[in-house]
Structure 1
Amino acid sequence: MHEINLVAEPRNGEVKAKNLLIEGKIPGVIYGAEMETISISLDKVEVLRIMKRVAETSSIVLTLDGKEYHAFLKGVQRDKVNDSVIHLDFFVPSSGHKMELRIPIRLVGTPMGLEKGGIVDHIVNELPVSVLPKDIVEEIVVDVSSLDVGHVLRVKDLDIPEGIKPLLDDEDAIMLIALPRVAKEVEEEEAEELEEDVEPEVINKGKKEEGEEE
């Protein structure tokens, strides 16, 4: 598993987060079941550099005062106005402790159903799992080239590495190749037109019968 390295500095609790942000630093915390929570600050440029590629499954090595903490990013707070990062939470799992997180699902190949006008409907993009830190993978790759129109990719169809327990049911859908929306709309329109054509015939028939009785 690829590791991301970050250098952290101890943060003085008396310094306001707003002032740190002005100085080009981002406040954060390192916490875990077997350690006291540590307040830290990180270089804003370095944080922005990794944010584009960091995920919940990314292993992050935080170096603080010469000591390394092997952590995972568990929380990102953003500014409500400009969406900039203003706080980070890093979790250090204890030995033998299973984590609950979401592993991205990467689909490869072009479903054969697309050539027939089918549409890919993504239902689950990240698989929630329970896993030991040593067994975490950055993504689960699945080849979907054999999926035809009407086919459904389910949790049980995924090639999940040993040691990873999905938190979804085996029958839960990950994605499906749906019927073309255009075709469905045409079918609905034709059904509506058929109903419109039938109604006048019934009304006319009723009127004719009334006239005959007169």
Structure 2
Amino acid sequence: MKSITINGSKRESVGKKATKALRNAGQVPCVLYGVEGDPLHFAAEEISFKDLVYTPDVHTVKIKLKDGKSFDAILQDIQFHPVNDAILHIDFYQIFDDKPITMEIPVHTEGVARGVKNGGVLRYNLRRLKVRGLPGDLPDYIVADVSKLKIGQKLYVTGVASEDYVIQHPDNTVICQVRTSRNIVALDDDEDEDEVAPDEVPATETDDVAAVKEGEDN
């Protein structure tokens, strides 16, 4: 997974006046949790977070302080101004190479679904998956091959499983599916027989109408 470096300085005062002064100077107050002892309070230029916050991708973070100390971390929480969307505060959590972490990784689809070629529509239920693994084993994104999906079929999280990480969703969780539309075309002779065959649904699947509706709303 890619890493972004944030250069900052330790905060000596964490009161409201000091925090306001930081923001007025274009700095973002931050807290790093998971360090030995008390949480570490620091600040960094707001522009430093552009490639970390305003992107669909995920990154680990290398926090470098002026005193020479550095920490590997992940973004844990962020607060925005309710009117102008300026960054008000960011929480980070320190990570270690030998300790697993949980992150939400974006899903990138690959290929064109057979059902889409026949006039169906690909609907997404999840754009990100929560996975757990060692920092060095987590990918920038998870590839979901949809090329074999026919009309009425779904891609479950089991279809993108990997030995590098553990997916933190039930096996019957749907990533995407091909729905019917008004533009269905005639199928080739070799596809007629199995195009409308039911999904190979995991044994644990329950009624997922709510999940489907959520995917359509997105």
Matches within 5 A, 1:100-115: 100-115=102-117
Letter matched to residue 173 of structure 2: D
Match status 1:176 vs 2:177: yes
Larger radius of gyration between Structure 1 and Structure 2: 1
Partner of residue 163, structure 2: 162
Task: Describe the shift of the 1:95–1:140 C-alpha distance in structure 2 as closer, same or farther (beyond 3 A).
Answer: closer
Match of 2:123 among 121, 124, 131: 121
Conservation of the 8 A alpha-carbon contact between 1:33 and 1:94? no
Conservation of the 8 A alpha-carbon contact between 2:56 and 2:106? no
Q: Give per-residue Cα distances to partners, 1:181-212, cap 9 Å, x unaligned.
A: 688xxxxxxxxxxxxxxxxxxxxxxxxxxxxx
Conservation of the 8 A alpha-carbon contact between 2:132 and 2:166? yes
Matches within 5 A, 1:1-214: 1-11=1-11, 12-14=13-15, 15-32=17-34, 34-53=36-55, 55=57, 57-64=58-65, 65-94=67-96, 96-158=98-160, 160-180=161-181
The separation in 1 between residues aligned to 2:97 and 2:50, in whole angstroms, is 30
Moved more, 40-49 or 88-97: 88-97
Q: Give per-residue Cα distances to partners, 1:26-74, cap 9 Å, x unaligned.
A: 111111064431111111122224423375x411101012111001111
The separation in 1 between residues aligned to 2:170 and 2:144, in whole angstroms, is 18
Identity across the alignment (%): 27
Conservation of the 8 A alpha-carbon contact between 2:119 and 2:182? no
The separation in 1 between residues aligned to 2:145 and 2:21, in whole angstroms, is 49
Task: Describe the shift of the 1:179–1:35 C-alpha distance in structure 2 as closer, same or farther (beyond 3 A).
Answer: farther
3-state DSSP class of the match of 2:48? helix
3-state DSSP class of the match of 2:50? helix
Conservation of the 8 A alpha-carbon contact between 1:32 and 1:94? no
The separation in 1 between residues aligned to 2:22 and 2:89, in whole angstroms, is 11
Task: Describe the shift of the 1:33–1:98 C-alpha distance in structure 2 as closer, same or farther (beyond 3 A).
Answer: farther
The separation in 1 between residues aligned to 2:87 and 2:153, in whole angstroms, is 40
The separation in 2 between residues aligned to 1:135 and 1:35, in whole angstroms, is 28
Task: Describe the shift of the 1:111–1:150 C-alpha distance in structure 2 as closer, same or farther (beyond 3 A).
Answer: same
Structure 1: runs of 5+ lacking an equivalent: 184-214
The TM-score normalised by the length of structure 1 is 0.76
Structure 2: runs of 5+ lacking an equivalent: 185-218
- What's the CA shift for 1:3? 1.4
Alignment size in residue pairs: 181
Partner of residue 191, structure 2: none
